[in-house]
Structure 1
């Protein structure tokens, strides 16, 4: 009989054209489905908590799929990890209730965005952080983060093509901290995200950090509900899907 498998996936998105399966491009979903189909000898389609764009990474993407098999979850995890390329790793695999759906059962997601803030770029982690050479004002950026904690219309930070019925989202927390080696990390958790929403927020908030925008300017951008008023989209390479929360 069919069993519903839940998997937690870590991946380096650098070499992929995003999460979603595409016939002519290499994607995370496509590689996992191809490997599962090979192991289980049956067509497998997986559903994720959401799509990540090209170049975006994940520590804890969640997906589920149905399969008719007696293979134990632990053995299935080992099998996938032994066959799939090293930039994708299945961290957890378990059987869940039939009604579990990685996307529709999620209640919130948490993203982290990393910035290297120093004059010189970085050789080792260059694919995992946005390099900004000019000093950033942490306090100014923190004010912007605090200003959008709560329920707001984020239309100003949405790119075209968002699959949504509303642009209103609830941000549970949004903070910024300095970490080791001249790095800065933004952490944001919300009940949902519009297309490029996190990257558009970061790209705009960085303007405050560069003293090119005030907190009042930022609030005016939010209230304008106009994408053309906001800043540029931050690069994909600094963004990580940290975890997906379920009730």
Structure 2
């Protein structure tokens, strides 16, 4: 069966996460239902990451196996037609080798998190940023973020329901930048690793926001990391500011 890689973009607000769930709307379910309209049968696609309820994607990658040898452009057009009016889009589609796997072939996941700093309620950005009322000390946040780089036991920043076999992960990048927009100052987090624990990025951001607001210091973050205790973590930030931005592969399928 020919295999295709799909670059998927979606608004996570209407969905209970990526993973198919009985009687609940999911991104995976939406795409599989669209595929079933094209080739009537049960479809089971795989993705690079299982985003949680409310989390968005700019560059999720999934793969599907089809019975027919499709032109990739026409396959993407057909799937997009049957996805309407749901906020999910197949941005790119390419034929890949049979041994390509969206999850297991991936070498890197990159996440973007957006915080909007302004007192007036968000309007156009509502549902796409985490809004805080005060400005944040970005240099202090970056100093704290630097303490998290490298290989560590990230138990403190791991959800209690995480199913990963080990809490040890290698954080390759956690870059924090201030971005001026027409709607106010945003603080962006560029977070990269081969893989992440459940709620790890949102735990990082929630803790680092406390540093930016002056409630914690970079030393407090390092002590929390070393504690290897979930109780030492700051608040877990809401999901709607989080985006799966990019997935890296040894041979990028979309280049």
Smaller-chain TM-score bracket: over 0.9
Are positions 1:37 and 2:36 aligned together? yes
State how 1:166-205 maps to structure 2 within 5 Å. 166-181=166-181, 182-205=185-208
- Contact kept, 8 Å, 2:37 with 2:82, in 1: the verdict is no
Partner of 2:60: 61
Comparing 76-85 and 196-205, the one that deviates more: 76-85
Matches for 1:120-159 after TM superposition, within 5 Å: 120-159=120-159
1:213 aligns with 2:216: yes
Matched residue, 1:77 = 76
Gaps (5+ residues) in structure 2? 251-255
- Offset at 1:86? 4.2
Aligned to 1:91: 91
Q: Distance in 1 between matches of 2:132 and 2:176?
A: 15
Aligned mates of 1:189, 1:90 — CA distance in 2: 23
1:120, distance to aligned residue in structure 2 (A): 1.3
SS across alignment from 2:2? strand
Aligned residues, how many? Answer: 246
TM-align CA RMSD: 0.9
- Pair 1:7-2:6 in alignment: yes
Q: Secondary structure at the match of 1:152?
A: strand
**Deviations, residues 110-152 of structure 1 (Å, cap 9, x unaligned):** 0000000112121111110001002211111011111111111
The answer to whether the aligner puts 1:240 opposite 2:243 as a matched pair is yes
The alpha-carbon deviation at position 71 of structure 1 amounts to 2.4
The two structures have a TM-score, normalised by structure 2, of 0.94
SS state at 1:13 partner? coil
TM-score normalised by the chain length of structure 1: 0.97
- Give 5+ residue unaligned stretches, structure 1: none
